[in-house]
Amino acid sequence: MEMEKLIKIILDSEEILIEKILNYAKEQNYVKYTSTLKEAWRMSISGLSDALIKVIAKSNSIPEMGPDDDFTKSQVAEFGISEAQKHCSRGVTLGMFLGFIKYYHQVYIDLIDESNFSSNEKKYFSQYIKRVFDQVELGFTIVWAGLSEKQKLEKLQEANREIANEKNKYLTVFESIYDPIILIDKANNIENINYKAAEVFLKGVVSGMKYYGNLNTDKELDWLNKELSRFMDLNQDEILLEKTIDTNIGQKNFLIKFKKMLDVSEKYRGTVIIFNDITERIKIERELKNQHEKLESYAYTDQMTGVSNRRTGLMILEKELAWVCRRDTPFSICFIDVDELKIVNDTYGHAEGDCLIIFIASTIKLLVREIDAVSRMGGDEFLIIFPGCNETDAEKVVKRICDKLEEYNKKEVKPFKCSFSYGIIEITSDSELNANEVIKAADKKMYQNKLLKKCK
């Protein structure tokens, strides 16, 4: 018989074997005495599989049992002997172990039955595995029966002391964790709460109050029930949320993680809730963001008018010049010079001159499109970039701005006129001008416009 086939399917099917034994354990309620972590189940399957493979590798013949065999020295029974030495100190009865080992045996039989082996192979492999498990059970039983009641009691007492120490270690670690932690049971009731959580959310607390006492947490943590209900409705293993909470130490911002307990046995189907205080982090992030925004504003914006500065205006213009060839769509620029600014400064003061510049800038921003870019190029000079706009359309927009300023002038709010001279240039895909040359050409047209206005 090709025993390599049996070895291969055992090695390749660890996850399947784990899933099968877990299902049997849940169906027959063995999980109330077993580990909640998948790794423990993996180790038990791995241990059984290793024992099986060692036996198979040694002999293809079914390991039969004779009346004079010493199973305490049998390599086949070795696994059962080592397990007996572990389990008898844990309060596991002989009947309980033998009952559960039958289901471990069954998962390997199921694996063979569901395989593509021939009927003869299935029969032989099943019988082989049956004999191995028979000897495992014999080894376990012999060791178990060889222990006196006193030895069993001593082992059990030693195990109980270890369990008590493990419990106290868990409580000490749980209470000492800096972040607030709350444990929720499967009925969505608070099962335990560590000292930091009690300190932050409750009043008059000491460590271990919830575990050792009957601390009522429902009133103070009513808001938590609502968030927990939302988490359960989502039917996810874990979620993260940010929440601002009024606590005993002031208003705090928390990053809260809701995570279902890692329990493959489904014995403890609760939730772990961990609170990470991010109040200081958020404060620092806001300060950094404000500083960054200010720096960006200083780098790209003219502080007096709120429009883009010269550097930004040139960057946008160069970008449009690069794009015009690719898109084969023209764009236009308008170069503006505020009229009579020097006279206003000399006659009414620089404060009025600044007001004039700000008013003209705000009027321009009000009437151009969102995609149009307005930049202050110097003291009284502005540049408007009209993407995808020909000279005629740009002229219409600038005329509307001039008309708006004229309406304001008619109200005689100021003792001087608010107006500007301008020059518009249309740039097409065949243009070979660079940014400075475009501005120079528009500036020339603006100057002609200014001269024309003075002649009138």
pLDDT band at 371 (very low <50, low <70, confident <90, very high): very high
Determine which of 99-108, 127-136, 143-152, 266-275 has the lowest per-residue pLDDT on average. Answer: 143-152
Q: What is the average pLDDT score of the chain? A: 86
Q: For residue 85, with 0-12 CB atoms within 10 Å meaning exposed, 13-18 middle and 19 or more buried, which class applies?
A: middle
Q: Which of 153, 440, 134 is nearest to 314 (CA)?
A: 440
Q: Rounded to the nearest 5°, which phi and psi values hold at 145?
A: -65, -25
pLDDT at 206 over 60: no
pLDDT at 307 over 60: yes
The domain spans of the chain are 3-156, 177-278, 301-455
pLDDT at 169 over 70: yes
pLDDT band at 63 (very low <50, low <70, confident <90, very high): confident
At 88 the pLDDT is 60
At 399 the pLDDT is 96
Report the CATH architecture of 3-156: Orthogonal Bundle (1.10)
Higher pLDDT, 293 or 178: 178
pLDDT per position as a tens digit, 8-37: 999 999 999 999 999 999 999 888 878 888
Higher pLDDT, 294 or 428: 428
pLDDT at 288 over 70: yes
Residues with Cβ within 8 Å of 178's Cβ and at least 6 positions away in sequence, in order, are 196
CB 159 within 8 A of CB 90: yes
Residue 379 backbone zone (phi > 0: left; psi -120 to 50: alpha; other: beta): alpha
CB 291 within 8 A of CB 284: no
Two tokens at 235?
């039917």
pLDDT at 178 over 60: yes
Task: Give the residue-averaged pLDDT of 330-347.
Answer: 94
Q: How many angstroms separate the CA atoms of 49 and 14, rounded? A: 8
Residue with tokens 């569901």: 114
Q: Determine what percent of the chain is predicted with pLDDT higher than 90.
A: 46
Determine the length of the chain. Answer: 456
Task: Give the residue-averaged pLDDT of 225-250.
Answer: 88
Q: How many angstroms separate the CA atoms of 53 and 60, rounded? A: 11
> In the CATH hierarchy, which top-level class contains the domain 177-278?
alpha beta
How many alpha carbons lie under 13 Å from residue 89 in its C-beta half-sphere?
12
pLDDT at 164 over 80: no
Q: Give the other-Cβ count within 10 Å of 365's Cβ.
A: 15
pLDDT band at 276 (very low <50, low <70, confident <90, very high): very high
Determine which of 70-79, 187-196, 247-256 has the lowest per-residue pLDDT on average. Answer: 70-79
At 340 the pLDDT is 93
Report the CATH architecture of 301-455: 2-Layer Sandwich (3.30)
Q: For residue 224, with 0-12 CB atoms within 10 Å meaning exposed, 13-18 middle and 19 or more buried, which class applies?
A: buried
Residue with tokens 């500036």: 443
Q: How many angstroms separate the CA atoms of 75 and 284, rounded? A: 65
pLDDT at 107 over 90: yes
Q: Which of 330, 319, 317, 323 is nearest to 392 (CA)?
A: 330
Higher pLDDT, 214 or 189: 189
